[in-house]
Amino acid sequence: MTLGAPLHDLLAALSRAAAPILDLIAPERCGACGDEGALFCTSCRAALLAPGAVSLHPPPQGVRAAATVGSYVDGLDAALRTLKFHGVPQLARPLGAALAAPIAAVTAELEGAAPALVAPILVPTPTDPARRRERGFDHALLLATAAGEATGLRVVELLERTRAVEPLHGLGRAERRRALDRAIAIRPGASALTPLDREALVILVDDIWTSGATFEAAARALTAAGWQHIAAVAVAREPLRERRGTPMGAV
């Protein structure tokens, strides 16, 4: 039996009206392990977001220091997928706050490189506008904002995408570099920056560091515009062996 069209429409309307209420009463689930109770459960916080797990990596080209909260495995991957693909932007707060440790690590690594009196600025890597519209939020900006709240550093939306880029998932390093060639530029509105900001250490912020092609494209745009001190932080780094397009055993 099929429902009559008016009844079907009424039920659909009721379900739409109830959705925000259901969201409020539904128990929160941990973005990493899926357990009910909290957006990021205590044990996942301890295991995944502990400052001790932060590691510096050999930086991508054009970047002088780079660090991540952890690896894109074991729960951090699930949390980032939940944030981005399941539409849970609230997860950006704990994940972005955890960026305070890699931010401290790259700042310490480059101590003395940028003038000490100029505070570093956090710059989200720019998201494709079409994907931002689809999701309804900009994950890199949300992560940078949470990191800014945790560190007291200013967030500057300095970069923008100049054109649409095919999804990078599944592409190798060279293909990613080609896809991103001149796809990132300084935003025209960024001219409001002070001369001192141009001396600042720019810390690029992203969710996942896969091949480093996005950081490299951002660094090229910044370097061409005169910035000299560029670092990068991400929540998670994809382990080498899992990077598509990278032959097994390659380093």
Binding site for Zn ion (CB under 5 A): 30, 32-33, 41, 44
d(CA 39, CA 118) in angstroms, rounded, equals 36
- CB burial readout 85-106, b (16+ within 10 A) else e: eeebeebbbbbbbbbbbbbebb
Radius of gyration of the chain (CA): 20
d(CA 165, CA 130) in angstroms, rounded, equals 10
From the list 209, 235, 239, 232, the residue with the least C-alpha distance to 83 is: 235
In angstroms, what is the minimal distance from the CB of 26 to Zn ion?
A: 17
In angstroms, what is the minimal distance from the CB of 166 to Zn ion?
A: 33
Q: Which residue has the tokens 């080209």?
A: 61
Q: Rank residues 44 and 171 by Cβ distance to Zn ion and give the closer one.
A: 44
Q: Which residue has the tokens 């050999």?
A: 58
In angstroms, what is the minimal distance from the CB of 111 to Zn ion?
A: 35
In angstroms, what is the minimal distance from the CB of 43 to Zn ion?
A: 6
Q: Rank residues 59 and 94 by Cβ distance to Zn ion and give the closer one.
A: 94
d(CA 239, CA 209) in angstroms, rounded, equals 9
Q: Which residue has the tokens 């797990």?
A: 53
Q: Rank residues 29 and 161 by Cβ distance to Zn ion and give the closer one.
A: 29
Q: Rank residues 39 and 105 by Cβ distance to Zn ion and give the closer one.
A: 39
In angstroms, what is the minimal distance from the CB of 142 to Zn ion?
A: 20
Q: Rank residues 96 and 212 by Cβ distance to Zn ion and give the closer one.
A: 96
What residue type is assigned to position 225 of the chain?
A: A
